[in-house]
Chain A
Amino acid sequence: MTDVKTPVDQANEAPVGKPGKPIAWPLGIAGVVLAVAGSFLSWSYDGTILNDLSINFYPGGLQILAIVVALLALVLLLAEKGPLTRLGAWLDATQGLRMLGAGLTVYMVLVVVAIATDSDGLINVNPGAYVSLVGALLIAVSAWMLPLRQLRDLSEAKLPAWFEILSIAALMAAVLFFAAYALGLEDAWSFVLALVFGAVVVVALFRCGVMTWVGHASQRHKRVLTLSAFVAAFLFPFTQNGSDANMSIATQVLIFAATAMGLNIVVGLAGLLDLGYIAFLGSGAYVAATMSNSAFATIGWHPPFLVVMLIGSAVAATFGLIIGSPTLRVSGDYLAIVTLGFGEIFRFSMFNLDGNNGPNLTNGPNGVPGIPELEIGGFNFGDEHVVAGIELGRFTNYYFLLLVLIGIVILVFARLNNSRIGRGWVAIREDEKAAEAMGVNVFGLKLLAFAIGAFLAGLAGTIKAHQDAAVSPDQYIFLESAFLLAAIVLGGMGTIAGVLLGATILKLLPEKLRFFSEYRLLLFGLLLVLMMRFRPEGLVASRRRQLEFHEEDEELAIEVEEERLAVEEAK
């Protein structure tokens, strides 16, 4: 996340703005110097906490993060005044600095709190931490004294194609590196602090416009972006040195993300609120379980996995059609409740079909345990492999398979979104009656959305059954559906990146932060309410969605329209 590759070549003179206070800039430089110097000193008396921050002139991991933030601030300061002023004509350096300063202050305060709580009290905080804290405060104060300036339009900034491609790749590499680093942190405080660092840097990059430029660049090189994202994801297991702990979390995140992506078609594109989506995942999983070679499988037929996969997703899609065809006639709120009812019917049925209360299909509350490892074409997913000296365990195999799956799901999503069908869905979502009047086949398209969503969930379910090695009814409760929905809401309905981000956050944080697992659901409920209140369009907002939630905002409407025109012009 540390690369600031920015267009340097083409800036003309910077437009003149209101002059700030003359002391601001030197104050900022002094802040940077103090922050860096403090980070080279010892932060904590106790060397056993937070991966050892106690040695002078040998910065530990968290101290390096602080130095990185300070250096970013230095670059932005130099863009304000100094050798990089030409950069300053393009980038909103002041906004970025404000974010960096405030963020670094929060980070340092958290560090002090962490040291104080991990060992006993503030006495264990060494002067270095305070020096850095003062530096952070100075940066923040100076940034608020610096003036805001007029900027040039970043969409005009064009650099050689190789440079743009390189910076996209570098960004992906930075993301991969940071993910591997953060996941490698064992204790919760370090992990939280690393997350704070990541959030600060990302928000600062957004604020100062680097991300806007990256956005424009990746518009021009879409393939590169997709490819490099997948390469980064593909390389992730190789950073783990054969450790299974993080890989197991990663596979869970991927399954969750793939399912959420399927639900995103139904909710995000077609605007049909489905509160029983987990049932489709469940039906796929149950099909795979009952047709597997498990001793508890109830169906005597054990076809190869690819066939099972198709059957499982077909069964899920059929359920989708059965539940969808009658109920899609009713209006939106009712649909939510009907799907919720369907989810409950599914759970009760799986619970009851144990031989006593119905035919024995699912072993009732016990579920189907002991599902063997997947085998596709003689390749057993339980085997370990050594590639280039790095051990790749069982979870890594599933990880790669799931990566392919999520690739397929994303492909389906993206292609549908940009097709006639996708436009039809958006039309239905925004105004069903108007869409019908314009000749959109409302019923057919809604049903299609439902069936495709169910199909993809079923597909994910068949893999999930083998990866978990067991299925039972209590994995498929309403709360799981709510979690899927929350991932979409949190990330941003109808977007790809947003939903991936939301799914990662919702699955990863509880796994890494075990200490708040007791309060997990409480915070989750609160999060849903607050998101709907303050940012209903999600973290990564699709512009059209944003407009739907802020109908009265005229400026936003004009902005979105201009953006659309610019994109079309570029084509």
Chain B
Amino acid sequence: VDQFLQQLVNGLTLGSLYALIAVGYTVVYGIVQLINFAHGEVFMIGAFGALTTYLLFFDGHSSVWILPIMIVGAMIASVSTAVAMERVAYRPLRNAPRLAPLITAIGISVFLQEFIRLFYERPGWTAVTFAGLAILVGYFAGGRLSAGANLDHPVSKWYDRAPLLGASAGAVVVWIVVRLISPDVTALYVVAAIVGGALVGTAAGTLAGVLTKRHARVSISLRPVAGAAIAAALAAEIGWIIFQKLINKVEWPSAKQRIPFPQIDVVTGPALQAGGVTIQRSAIFTVAALAVCSVLLWFFINRTRLGRGMQAVSQDPDTARLMGINVDRIIVVAFALGAVLAAIAGVSQGLQNNNIEFRMGFLAGLKAFTAAVLGGIGNIYGAVVGGLVLGLVEAMATQYIPGQFGGSTWKDVWAFVILILVLVFRPQGLLGARVVDRA
């Protein structure tokens, strides 16, 4: 009996992890009928986001109060990855044949894994990202100031946006020049980068406006151009200060090997004994996280505007659009929702295994997808149930399949066998879902 209980505990732990990731697959599939193959990588990046937060702010500490902040860091990392992925790669392919997004997803998956492997120990790329972000910040700030010009109008072309983009880019170029001269953060150079960026950016933006005047549909006055330049210069310099004072100070570990995950009081440490059953503290954390998340998820889906919007879109996107639901935004929310849960899963995986690596997303993602299919893909509660069932089955298979084909080396095989069996005999899954035929 002890053995059975032990495997039950193991299975529930494993299953909770699968369930947390599986929700991401099922939410996205329910709304856009896309298997977001790269979701496993979102999970992996969540774990790395948590580690990054720890290394940046709390290196060497182990108080339990760090944990929520680590989870927030993980969420920021994974949500921004997932949203960027949707915006850059999936949205342009929304009406393409179904092969295209799937291949894109494989590409993203490989890209993200390699990116973490190669660049985690070299934080220089964040400076480039900050520069790009600064241009975006400048552009949006300018857009807010130029109230008369609607730049999101479908007719708008690049030359309508040229003054704002020129202003932001000009400011960022000045910042690059200043920082190439001296990378140190001293009052003189900070002021030089900001003031010089604002001035030159304004000039560049005005120049761009004059040059494109012949084609432009809207004219943008000096105020928004100057605003864009100032915002971009400020953002770029703040990014640089963060980079120099915070990011560059840390000794980043190489992601080519496994990286040890920080140990936190209360949730890691000596295991608890209940009768003959050993329960890891991190296991309790995982199961508790799943429980809390399920309640919140139920609340979100059924009791908020966005959640109901999601339900409506998954039932009928066209009608939902006619009813005034912003389908694009709902899709972004779906990706973000999956990423939030994946981030929590990433943290608990790190706590359980005591280490993380760039490859961890692949197999976990595949298993989680199996779980989603098992529960009925598109059905959110199905994903939770499917995850738990899959975890239990794996644990029990390890224990109770006799002979040489039992044991932990074959448990992955059994998980995939289950995937195939479910798809063949009950493609709608355990709880059932509307099966969308997209062939």
Interface, chain A (partner B; CB < 8 A): 267, 271, 273, 275, 323, 326-327, 329-334, 336-338, 340-342, 344-345, 348-349, 351-352, 356-359, 432, 478-479, 482, 485-486, 489, 518-519, 521-522, 524-529, 532-533, 536, 548-549
Contact = CB atoms under 8 A, between A and B. Distances in A.
Given A521-B110, A532-B100, A357 B410 contact: yes
Interface stretch (B66-74, B88-96, B270-278): B88-96
Max chain A CB contacts within 10 Å: which of B113, B369, B438, B439? B439
B103 interface: yes
B407 interface: yes
Given A332-B98, A532-B104, A533-B93, A358 B405 contact: yes
Max chain A CB contacts within 10 Å: which of B110, B370, B423, B437? B110
Contacts of B412: 344, 348
A348 B106 contact: no
B115 interface: yes
A352 B409 contact: yes
B35 interface: yes
26 contacts: A275-B106, A336-B35, A338-B419, A338-B423, A341-B366, A341-B419, A341-B420, A342-B416, A344-B363, A344-B416, A348-B413, A349-B413, A352-B409, A357-B409, A358-B405, A482-B110, A518-B118, A519-B114, A519-B118, A522-B111, A522-B118, A525-B106, A525-B110, A526-B111, A532-B96, A536-B96
Given A338-B420, A529-B89, 10 more contacts: A327-B424, A332-B98, A332-B438, A333-B438, A341-B420, A344-B416, A357-B409, A528-B103, A528-B110, A532-B93
A528 B102 CA distance: 10
A415 to B, nearest CB: 25
Contact of B439 (A332, A345, A525): A332
Interface residues of B, number: 48
B398 interface: no
B269 interface: no
B94 to A, nearest CB: 12
A333 B35 contact: yes
Contacts of A342: 416, 420
Contacts of A351: 409
Given A344-B366, A529-B107, A549-B96, A327 B423 contact: yes
Contacts of B115: 522
A330 B424 contact: yes
A479 B110 contact: yes
Contacts of A340: 366
Contacts of B369: 337
A352 B404 CA distance: 10
A358 B369 CA distance: 28
A345 B366 CA distance: 12
A514 to B, nearest CB: 16
Contacts of B427: 330, 334
A549 B107 contact: no
A349 B369 CA distance: 21
B187 interface: no
A356 B111 CA distance: 36
Max chain B CB contacts within 10 Å: which of A326, A333, A342? A333
A536 B104 CA distance: 10
A548 B416 CA distance: 33
| Interface class of chain B by DSSP | helix
Nearest to A527: B107
A196 to B, nearest CB: 25
Given A345-B413, A357-B404, A533-B89, A525 B102 contact: no
Given A478-B362, A528-B103, A330 B423 contact: yes
A334 B373 contact: yes
A525 B109 contact: yes
Contacts of A518: 118
B439 A331 contact: yes
Given A271-B99, A337-B373, A521-B114, A532 B420 contact: no
A478 B33 CA distance: 23
A532 B438 contact: no
Contacts of B60: none
A539 B439 CA distance: 25
Contact of B416 (A345, A356, A529): A345
B337 to A, nearest CB: 20
B157 to A, nearest CB: 19
Nearest to A325: B424
B154 interface: no
A206 B109 CA distance: 35
B51 to A, nearest CB: 21
Nearest to A348: B413
Contact of A273 (B99, B104, B110, B363): B99
Nearest to A533: B92
B417 interface: yes
Contacts of A331: 437-439
Contacts of A330: 423-424, 427
Contacts of A478: 362
Contacts of B103: 485-486, 489, 528, 532
A354 B197 CA distance: 66
A525 B419 CA distance: 27
Max chain B CB contacts within 10 Å: which of A330, A356, A529? A529
A357 B98 CA distance: 39
Contacts of B35: 333, 336-337
Nearest to A478: B362
A329 B427 CA distance: 10
A530 B127 CA distance: 24
B259 interface: no
A334 B107 contact: no
B149 interface: no
B108 A529 contact: yes
Nearest to B406: A357
A533 B110 contact: no
Interface string B400-439: 0000110101101100110110011001000000000111
Nearest to A326: B424
B97 interface: yes
A341 B114 contact: no
B424 A329 contact: yes
Top 3 closest pairs, chain A to chain B, by CB: A528-B107, A525-B111, A525-B110
A330 B35 CA distance: 15
B116 to A, nearest CB: 10
Contact of A357 (B370, B407, B419): B407
A287 B115 CA distance: 37
A566 to B, nearest CB: 27
A326 B420 CA distance: 9
Contacts of A273: 99, 102
Contacts of B93: 532-533
Nearest to A430: B97
A526 B438 contact: no
